[in-house]
């Protein structure tokens, strides 16, 4: 055991190797198996020192209120908008996430979506499967090379996306409201609509939360234009989904590649019906290698907290 006195509340089923490590080394309490949490809390809540969760599950404040000795939350994923940062800071609860280890896989997903909407890969595959090739030629797609990739949010994943698209001879520009990076040569736009107007592909990779909710609105989409594409590998809340449907129906943008949605796993029927939209089930970091690295980092944070009272990858609250 890491610490025989350390009890952990796990919010939902996690990566198999992470669950195995937890069950072998700490006292695990499975939130999803506790039918009557109030009754359970009477006997167990005071023992819980750490919560393990993910960007999908999050953690609600009402439940956390019942854990008086909670010290830290370790979250599986880079985004932490599903927990209340201000609440955690107010209680002095530490938070960790899993940055860096998923940069490449999410960037690859963004590039895959760009290629898919450009060359109409999903549509072409359906065309062949439906037996249409014998009757007609498939319509032309678009090149990536020579085009401009506008990146909304040039953090670590955004910079990895920029590196990949640069290998395709694309021009890179970015939006960062706090100003340009001093050490980055890509073109910076302080105005999001101006970036959208300059971009052939607008790739969204900013954190979710109240500050970025509907950042990509109808005005941004109109600025993007009818021959350009929206790619979202951030959070569904960052894009005004109703506005996106309307913009696509009105041909105000050329198409979209979406890995995330506002009400996952529910996807608007209008989007499902569109051939110029590629839809993925939130698989940005969904590779065996990346998920294992994420699981390892969650466990490393947990172990470091129990052993040293410090997290490996703490979030600055």
218 is annotated as an active-site residue: no
What integer pLDDT is reported at residue 133 of this predicted model?
A: 98
Give me 209's structure tokens.
């939360």
- Give the span between the Cα atoms of 281 and 169, in whole angstroms: 29
In a domain, 284, yes or no: no
Whole-number mean pLDDT of the chain? Answer: 96
Q: Which residues contact 146 (CB under 8 A, 6 or more apart)?
A: 169, 170, 171
In a domain, 142, yes or no: yes
> Would you tell me the crossing angle of helices 103-119 and 156-166 to the nearest 10 degrees?
50
Say yes or no to pLDDT of 7 above 70.
Answer: yes
Give me 210's structure tokens.
């109240």
Tens digit of each residue's pLDDT (9 = 90 or more) over 26-83:
999 999 999 999 999 999 999 999 999 999 999 999 999 999 999 999 999 999 999 9
Tens digit of each residue's pLDDT (9 = 90 or more) over 228-279:
999 999 999 999 999 999 999 999 999 999 999 999 999 999 999 999 999 9
* Residue of 125, 250, 264, 307 marked catalytic: 264
Tally of CB atoms within 10 A around 95: 23
pTM above 0.75, yes or no: yes
Pair (46, 158) in one structural domain = no
pLDDT-derived band of residue 170, with 50, 70 and 90 as boundaries? very high
Pair (135, 271) in one structural domain = yes
In a domain, 257, yes or no: yes
* Residue of 49, 120, 176, 282 marked catalytic: 282
Pair (121, 265) in one structural domain = yes
| Domain that residue 14 falls in | 7-101+289-308
Pair (159, 202) in one structural domain = yes
Q: Which residues contact 78 (CB under 8 A, 6 or more apart)?
A: 55, 97, 98, 99, 102, 157, 285
In a domain, 313, yes or no: no
Percent of the chain scoring above 90 in pLDDT:
97
264 is annotated as an active-site residue: yes
User: Length of the chain in residues, anyone?
Assistant: 317
Quick check: 211 and 234 in contact, CB under 8 A? Answer: no
282 is annotated as an active-site residue: yes
Q: How many domains does the chain have?
A: 2
- For residue 237, give the CATH number of its domain: 3.40.50.720
Percent of the chain scoring above 70 in pLDDT:
98
In a domain, 167, yes or no: yes
223: nearest Cα among 186, 255, 198, 190: 198
* Residue of 235, 241, 252, 291 marked catalytic: 235
In a domain, 317, yes or no: no
């Amino acid at each position: 055991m890491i610490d025989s006195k350390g009890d952990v509340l796990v919010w939902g089923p996690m990566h198999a190797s992470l669950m195995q490590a937890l069950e072998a080394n700490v006292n695990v309490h499975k939130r999803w198996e506790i039918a009557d949490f109030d009754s359970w809390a009477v006997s167990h809540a005071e023992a819980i020192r750490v919560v393990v969760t993910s960007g999908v599950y999050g953690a609600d404040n009402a439940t956390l209120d019942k854990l008086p000795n909670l010290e830290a939350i370790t979250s599986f994923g880079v985004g932490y908008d599903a927990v209340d940062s201000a609440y955690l800071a107010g209680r002095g609860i530490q938070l960790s996430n899993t940055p860096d280890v998923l940069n490449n896989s999410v960037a690859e997903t963004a590039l895959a979506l760009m290629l898919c909407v450009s060359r109409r890969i999903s549509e072409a595959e359906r065309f062949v499967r439906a037996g249409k090739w014998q009757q007609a030629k498939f319509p032309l797609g678009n090149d990536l090379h020579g085009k401009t990739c506008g990146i909304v949010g040039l953090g670590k994943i955004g910079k990895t996306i920029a590196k990949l698209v640069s290998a395709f001879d694309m021009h890179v520009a970015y939006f960062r409201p706090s100003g340009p990076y001093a050490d980055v040569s890509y073109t910076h736009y302080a105005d999001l609509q101006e970036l959208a107007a300059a971009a052939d592909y607008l790739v969204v990779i900013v954190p979710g939360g109240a500050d970025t909710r509907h950042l990509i609105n109808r005005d941004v989409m109109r600025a993007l234009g009818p021959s350009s594409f929206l790619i979202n590998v951030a959070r569904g809340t960052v894009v005004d989904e109703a506005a996106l449907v309307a913009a696509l129906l009105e041909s105000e943008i050329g198409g979209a590649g979406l890995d995330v949605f506002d009400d996952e796993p529910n996807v608007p029927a209008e989007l499902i019906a569109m051939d110029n939209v590629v839809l993925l089930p939130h698989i940005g970091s969904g590779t065996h290698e990346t998920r294992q690295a994420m699981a390892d980092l969650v466990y490393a944070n947990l172990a470091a907290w129990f052993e040293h009272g410090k997290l490996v990858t703490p979030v600055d609250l």
